[in-house]
Amino acid sequence: MDSDDDPQRLKDLAARLDIARGDVDGGGEGARGGGPVRPSGLGIAWRVSVELVSAVLVGTWLGWLLDGWLGTRPWLMVVFLLFGGAAGVMNVYRVVKGYDDSVGLGQAARRAGARGSSTPKT
């Protein structure tokens, strides 16, 4: 992207821009770096509720489809309803912990750990 004909000058410029930006949109919606930073309470409520409900619905729907395919009408739907609930709780846990950038919980936790304390807690 950048032409590096004068790297030192560009680096200085970048540093100054970062400082200037930090003054302008600190904590605003355009917060930079490491995912959504400091969302509003309503924003979290929206995310959490949608994640919870959607996982349950998708789980139940998946179970219903499998039932139709395998001919075991009510049973798989019941099982997948529970799986959906578990997935929903896990989604919410990820959102709240700020791990929602990955599917595998182990990987996400490791990545968050590797990033260290630079990632602010929601």
Partner 1 sequence: MREAGETVASPVHQFEIKPLIPVTIGGVDVSFTNSALFMVLAVVASYLFLTLGMRQREQVPGRWQSLAEITYEFIAGMIRDNVGKEGFRYFPFIFSLFMFVTMGNLLGMLPYSFTYTSHLAVTGALALTVFIGVTIIGFARHGLHFLRMFFPHGAPILTAPILIPIELISYLSRPFSLSVRLFANMTVGHIMLKVLAGFVVSLGVLFGIVPLAATIGITILEFGIAFLQAYVFTILSCIYLNDAINMH
Which of 22, 43, 68, 74 touches partner 1 (CB under 8 A)?
43
CA 49 distance to own-chain centroid: 14
Distance of CA 16 to the CA centre of its chain: 30
Shortest distance (Å) from residue 55 CB to partner 1: 4
Scanning residues 64 to 93, which ones bind partner 1 (CB under 8 A)?
80, 83-84, 86-88, 90-91
Nearer to partner 1, 87 or 112 (CB): 87
Which is nearer to partner 1, 54 or 122 (by Cβ)? 54
- Assess 33 for contact with partner 1 (CB under 8 A): yes
Helix (H, G, I), strand (E, B) or coil at 26: coil
Question: CA-based Rg of the chain, rounded to a whole angstrom?
Answer: 21
CB neighbour burial string for 105-117, b if at least 16 within 10 angstroms, e if fewer: eeebeeebeeeee
**62, 87 Cβ separation under 8 angstroms:** no
The reply to whether 98 sits near partner 1 by the rule CB under 8 A is no
Which pair of structure tokens corresponds to residue 115? 């990033």
Residues engaged in binding partner 1 (CB under 8 A)? 1, 29-30, 32-36, 43, 46-47, 50-51, 54-55, 57-59, 62, 80, 83-84, 86-88, 90-91, 100-107, 110
